[in-house]
Chains A and B, each alone.
Chain A
Amino acid sequence: MSRPRAERTLLKEHWVLDPVSRRAGVATIEVHSGKVARLEWRDGVAEARRAFIEGAEPGPKDPTRLVLPALVDLHAHFRQPGAGASEDVASGEAAAAHGGYGAVALMPNSEPAADHPALLRELTRTTASRGVTLMPIAAATLGRAGRTLAPMAELAAAGAVAFSDDGSPIADPALFRSALITAGALDLPLIEHCEDPALTKGGEAADGLVATALGLRPWPAVGEISAVSRNIALLRDAIRDEPRARLHLTHLSTGAALDAVRVARAEGLPITCDVTPHHLSLTDAWIAGDQRWAWEYEDRHAPNLTPTADAYNTNLRVCPPLRDASDAAACRAALRDGTASAIATDHAPHSRERKEVEFGLAANGIAGIETALSTLLAARAAGELPLSLVAALLTTGPAAVLNRPALARGLAVGGPANLVVVDLGATWVPSRKTLIGRSINTPLLGKSLTGAVLLTLLNGEVAWKAE
């Protein structure tokens, strides 16, 4: 399906930030025939470069309309094939466009798992009526069962951008090492969900005050940390045989795991990691009904533990679980110091049937691709993350993890017009009416968010436009 091409789009005097060309400031952009036809910095290019370097942010007198290059997501679940009641490629793509995303890597947790070249081809052929680039991540092992390597070379030829058994960590260390080496020989990263299931079995909420008070089964931090440590040791060993082996750890949630990655990166190991918008902005106290942003605690260990009427909201059940304010702060610190080089949504839509159940029986996951940018803008407004960093973590950061710079080509005259326009002053409330994905399992339902996507252009065409 092709959309009518908007012949011309004029974005006059917007606040523009481009982490690729490294420029920021007020500019006018004209889009024509799918490309950026004109990009004029009001105060000149030199000033835009200086403003970027100095970390300029839009001030009160500046335009509230922000333009960024279209966003890139490393980690989403569009549930196709297998769970169309929760999401499919079409609804997921629409949700992505609403979130400002132009490229999305899809995890292989479908039914059946994306472990066969035909399945990957089918997925990329299904496409993409709005023009979002869909990038399949193939299963590392057959059926994501952790017993036999998937046909990685064939999967790479069919378009896999990475390998992962996301949601089912590869328990067997020898198999994990083989997966690293085999993926490395194909020059693709292995993406790992770090969890030791023997430690986290039955876990409902992060081990800590909230779980204790609410009687939820504890999911201890060490369940993540021990897996991270093991995987780093295996990576160190694997690169002796295959120097191109690369390991990316997804949705890290604990300060100690991020510390381990920091040390491994300092050592020079080929390791990267991401964190999610929810782990850096929410805490486990939300399960009790204490709905403050993670940075709003004066004392990081002083949540309100008395359950409110909204307590035990299953839209907060996620793996790894939400943690306390100090772990959320560690996620933001890791982004600031470069330990984590991308923000990934882990967009995990679930139908009502899988969420309108007892907390401990609910499916894990948050549908987050439509609220990611607003969440990060809240962190930015609180002084937690500078705007230029947010932009990089949502564009060049994930593109670098996949070693695909073409995913984030920035805003350049003559280049494809892939961009998102955000009204920094607009507030919106996530609800069944405002969200367009098939599932709305987000804890942000009913919360007022600042920063609304007005327009997503992909190759100059409207992928999403606010009414």
Chain B
Amino acid sequence: MPAAAAPHRHLLDVAGLSWSDLKLLLDTTEAARRILRSPAGRVDALKGVGVTTLFYEASTRTRISFENAAKALGANVNSATVASSSVGKGESLVDTMKTLRALGSNVIVLRHERAGAPWLAARVFDGSVLNAGDGWHAHPTQALLDLSVLLRNIGAEDGTLRGRRVAIIGDLLHSRVVRSNLHTLRAAGAAVRLAGPPALTRGFAEAAARSGGVTLCASLAEALEGADAVMALRIQRERLDDGEVSSLESYREAWGLTEERIAAHAARGCVVLHPGPMNEGVEIDPDVADGPRSLILEQVAEGIPVRMAALWRTVRGDAPLIVPATAKVNS
């Protein structure tokens, strides 16, 4: 299929998606939500389409929500787990893609520990590739679900995030979530304030200086100032081994999200997000994670309709996702 005929055959990235591209995905998400709420909870819109989740890294929520999303659209779903993509161990990614194609997969949902792996996969696969997270680089459906949740909770009247401040705190360097969120949040018009330990914000000062609407802050308090939403990022134990963080206690002391800090600096009604999985008591306190500001479970639930929209869009292009009449009645 020529690329020009299907510009969204793959979902590799949110970088480069315009606001209208994002709006179309969010509108499709709305239709998907109505399908999920219908009595059947599913449709046959992608009947006969083979969707394979191919994960080179462990994942619970992303994988299951992609699989549930594909099932809710009537697709045939199967999954492949690969322990490692190291050279010389097992089958290459390219060969795996060809094998899956021969086995009838039309859509590959790929999670990989190396940045750019979905680009390689897309170049050798004549179906669709959806990026479910590539190394430090991108996590498109996470950014879409975060955007959807933020628009619902703190959206401006014009349906954007104009005039809203979103803080993202933590390990920026290793985070695909922050990289993808920067694109979607800026496309939505939000002002983004970043902060984290200096060893873990490497490169982001230069990147922020170059892009309008993004500020790298020196402290948690500064980043939280006037924030309408704050997202904590997961801190991984490897960061201690690499000497980038001296201890989890000192991390919490400087960068942990606590109710006191949010209340002291953020806007009233500031909401809290976390892409999961959380280290409660480190980057986020349990009472914040479970408290009234938290949208964390809403984020998890949002994953299914957003991934339905992503699957629909890559397979069927701009065609509208039709919600059965009974579903409309019940919605």
Contacts and interface: CB of A to CB of B under 8 A. Distances in A.
A75 B93 CA distance: 32
B122 A358 contact: no
Interface in B165-215: 176, 179, 202-204, 206-207, 210
B119 A216 contact: no
Interface stretch (A34-42, A127-135, A305-313): A305-313
Interface string A201-233: 000100111011111111000000000000000
Interface string B120-150: 1011000000000011111000000000000
Contacts of A215: 115-116, 134-138, 176, 179
B120 A358 contact: yes
A216 B115 contact: yes
A317 B112 CA distance: 19
Contacts of B119: 307, 309, 311-312
Contacts of A208: 203, 206
A357 interface: yes
Contacts, number: 88
B60 interface: no
Interface stretch (B11-19, B25-33, B266-274, B294-302): B11-19
Interface stretch (B84-92, B229-237, B323-331): B84-92
Nearest to B119: A312
B207 A209 contact: yes
A356 interface: yes
A307 B12 contact: yes
Contact of B85 (A209, A307, A353, A358): A358
A212 B206 contact: yes
B224 interface: no
B15 A307 contact: yes
Given A307-B13, A357-B94, A212 B135 contact: no
A118 interface: no
A356 B97 CA distance: 12
A411 B42 CA distance: 79
A357 B90 CA distance: 13
Contacts of A358: 85, 93, 112, 114, 116-117, 120
Contact of A360 (B115, B138, B206): B115
Contacts of A83: none
Interface string A341-374: 0000000000001001111110000000000000
A307 to B, nearest CB: 6
Contact of A311 (B116, B135, B202): B116
B5 interface: no
A360 B135 CA distance: 10
B3 interface: yes
A301 interface: yes
Contacts of A204: 115
Nearest to B207: A212
Contact of B114 (A301, A305, A361): A361
Contacts of B120: 312, 314, 356-359
A359 B93 CA distance: 12
Contact of B92 (A212, A312, A356, A359): A356
Interface residues of B, number: 33
Main secondary structure of the interface of A (DSSP, over half): loop
B13 A361 contact: no
A399 B328 CA distance: 80
Contacts of A357: 87, 92-94, 120
Nearest to B94: A356
A301 to B, nearest CB: 7
Given A204-B115, A213-B179, A309 B15 contact: no
Contacts of A216: 115-116, 136-137
Contacts of B203: 207-209, 211-212, 218
Contacts of B116: 214-216, 307, 311-312, 358-360
Interface string A248-288: 00000000000000000000000000000000000000000
A378 B179 CA distance: 35
Interface in A175-223: 204, 207-209, 211-218
B138 to A, nearest CB: 7
A204 B112 CA distance: 16
Contacts of B114: 358-361
Contacts of A211: 203
Contacts of B135: 215, 360
Contact of B202 (A218, A301, A307, A360): A218
Contacts of B137: 214-216
Contacts of A311: 116, 119
B92 A213 contact: no
A208 B114 CA distance: 18
A358 B204 CA distance: 24
A309 B94 contact: no
Contacts of A209: 203, 206-207, 210
A309 B123 contact: yes
Nearest to A302: B210
Contacts of B86: 361
Contacts of A353: 92
A306 B16 contact: yes
B85 A361 contact: yes
A213 B93 contact: no
A309 B2 CA distance: 13
Contacts of B94: 356-357
A301 B85 CA distance: 34
A313 to B, nearest CB: 9
A356 B134 CA distance: 17
Counting chain B CB atoms within 10 Å of each CB, the highest count among A306, A358, A359 belongs to A358
30 contacts: A207-B203, A209-B203, A209-B207, A212-B204, A213-B15, A213-B207, A214-B115, A215-B138, A217-B136, A218-B202, A306-B13, A306-B15, A309-B3, A309-B119, A311-B116, A312-B116, A312-B119, A353-B92, A357-B92, A358-B85, A358-B93, A358-B112, A358-B117, A359-B114, A359-B115, A359-B116, A359-B117, A359-B120, A360-B135, A361-B114
Given A306-B15, A356-B92, A357-B120, 18 more contacts: A211-B203, A212-B206, A212-B207, A213-B15, A213-B179, A213-B207, A216-B136, A306-B16, A307-B16, A307-B116, A309-B119, A312-B115, A312-B119, A314-B120, A356-B94, A358-B112, A358-B120, A359-B117
| A-B complex: 4 closest residue pairs judged by Cβ atoms | A215-B137, A312-B116, A212-B203, A215-B136
Interface of B: 3, 12-13, 15-16, 85-87, 92-94, 112, 114-117, 119-120, 122-123, 134-138, 176, 179, 202-204, 206-207, 210
